[in-house]
Structure 1
Amino acid sequence: MTTNYLSRRNLLKYSAGAIATGVVTAGVGSNLVIAEEAPAKDEITPDKALQELLDGNDRFVKRKRKNPNQSPTRLHEIAKGQKPFASILGCADSRVPSEIVFDQGLGDLFVCRIAGNIATPQQIGSLEFGSLILGSKLIMVVGHERCGAVEAAIKGGSVPGQIGKLIEAIKPNVESYKDQSGDRLEKACKANILAQIETLKSSSVLSELIKAKKLKIVGGYYDLDTGKISLVS
């Protein structure tokens, strides 16, 4: 396989146009190694990436985890470079660790976690990197049952420190659920997930990958009581 090198300066020029060339980075450093993608038959698709996540979660729920890619061999293998098949924008909640609930291992997932699973500019930039440069085929925005950040946005009121910035980012997405009957918190959590998906899709980098059918963005809702991930649409 032939390779060439991309300097940090040139990385700034490396944009959506690279999608059509079929290249992804094989490593990151002072120089970025660019390698041709594997043949299509060996390449995981966005749909296959999604199914892999759902299958892994099903194993987790049924207590049949395989704990894949967690051996010393895998550790040394990915030390040379990473190519995660999926990315997760998840809540920082300690009860929802991505690699465990999806039954994945080292180097499988590119994970960004923040309270309320909100798509900040920094999170978006990270996911752009994970998708365009590392080759991740899927982004799942994972919210969860009884999310404290979403509940605080519904209740309102003053909060100390920088917590208010998190609340303000969520509040517009859940405002309409304040006075609803039923499980308004669940509805608000799911509405927040969908809002973050739309924010991610507004990224020029991610939207180009979606158009090229190299990426899919979906939402997932985690049930704290069962461990089940349900797709949100």
Structure 2
Amino acid sequence: MPDFPSSPAEAFAALMEGNSRFVRGDRLHPNQDADHRTALAPAQRPFAVLFGCSDSRLAAEIIFDRGLGDLFVVRTAGHVSGPEVLGSIEYGVAMLGVPLVVVLGHDSCGAVTAAAEAHRSGYAPAGYLGDVVDRVIPSVLSGRAAGLSTVDEFVDEHIRRTADYLLGRSSLLAAKVGQGRCAVAGLSYRLTEGTVHLVAGHGALSAEPSGSAASA
């Protein structure tokens, strides 16, 4: 696997392989030495945009066993998105040429739990925290309409809806995916096991012509 994968399938495989190393405890800690830090200073060349929840247990470079310059990371509570997030993702795709955008959520998410409770009780938190919850509630509603009932099921639904939202709002990202130059993967992380699994995929996430990952 190239150090900086150039295709969506290579980038996705590199992340999944890194997560497997993390789960096994066989981390390589790539691209974390002083020489790489110096070589990277003039310019960055990440191979993936990682849009994830701000949860402190979800440090992307650690759980995917990557290093400096590998991932362009954007994080918000509950991975809720707005203009700043969309602009940051488009910067990674258009200016840095990354071939993969990942939406990363996790089980027992506090924002999703709060949204489910707010919908049940009819009361949302005050202040800007309420704004975060309001942006997650549509995923809870969509999940319940589909017969889902648990927070972790709502988490996966929120990941799927976020991936769809990015493609629906960003014509630039949608065009890159349509051209086969980028892909979007929605991944759900398990806090205890350290594993990730694919819950949403758009584009060529598999090296095989008809890979099932692209339509997960």
TM-score by length of 2: 0.85
Residue of structure 2 equivalent to 1:232: 199
CA distance in 2 between counterparts of 1:176 and 1:151 reads 15
2:164 matches 1:198: yes
Cα displacement (A) at 1:174: 1.0
Is the Cα contact below 8 Å between 1:177 and 1:184 reproduced in 2?
A: no
Q: Superposed, which structure 2 residues align to 1:100-139 within 5 Å? A: 100-139=62-101
Tell me, what secondary structure is at the counterpart of 2:25? coil
Residue of structure 1 equivalent to 2:55: 93
Q: Superposed, which structure 2 residues align to 1:30-49 within 5 Å? A: 44-49=6-11
Residue of structure 2 equivalent to 1:3: none
Number of paired residues?
Answer: 192
Change (3 A) 1:104 1:206: same
CA distance in 1 between counterparts of 2:142 and 2:98 reads 34
Residue of structure 2 equivalent to 1:222: 189
CA distance in 2 between counterparts of 1:155 and 1:193 reads 18
Cα displacement (A) at 1:159: 1.2
Instruction: Name which of 117, 123, 126 aligns with 1:155.
Output: 117
**What fraction of aligned residue pairs are identical, expressed as a percent?**
36
Cα displacement (A) at 1:43: 6.1
Change (3 A) 1:86 1:100: same
Change (3 A) 1:208 1:62: same
CA distance in 2 between counterparts of 1:43 and 1:154 reads 38
Larger radius of gyration: 1
Gaps of 5+ in 2: 201-216
CA distance in 1 between counterparts of 2:25 and 2:5 reads 29
Is the Cα contact below 8 Å between 1:88 and 1:111 reproduced in 2?
A: yes
RMSD, aligned CA:
1.7
Gaps of 5+ in 1: 1-41
TM-score by length of 1: 0.79
